[in-house]
Amino acid sequence: MTGNAFFAPTKSRVKVGIVALILLWVGLALGALAATVTHIVVCIQTSSWILLIIGLFAFPVGWIHGVGTWLGLF
């Protein structure tokens, strides 16, 4: 047997990798959704109607504003 058997891909390692990637994508999607909801709530509370409209049509703006709100940057 050549090479290191420890790093050889097995079916169980491949399944764990697939599950990890799925969980990563689900976590990112939920985080983006939560940031967008935060963006919407904050914009409505502060009557920032232009920022609300921009953040709804240009999603990264809403995500950055939502995460920035969580971190206390905005």
Q: Taking the CA atoms of the chain, what radius of gyration do you get in angstroms? A: 20
DSSP string for residues in 17-61: HHHHHHHHHHHHHHHHHHHHHHHHHHHHHTT-HHHHHHHHHSHHH
- Cα separation, 32 vs 14, whole angstroms: 27
Note the pLDDT tens digit of each residue in 23-44: 999 999 999 999 999 999 999 9
pTM above 0.85, yes or no: no
The full set of domain ranges for the chain reads 32-74
Model confidence band, residue 8 (pLDDT cutoffs 50, 70, 90): low
pLDDT exceeds 70 at position 57: yes
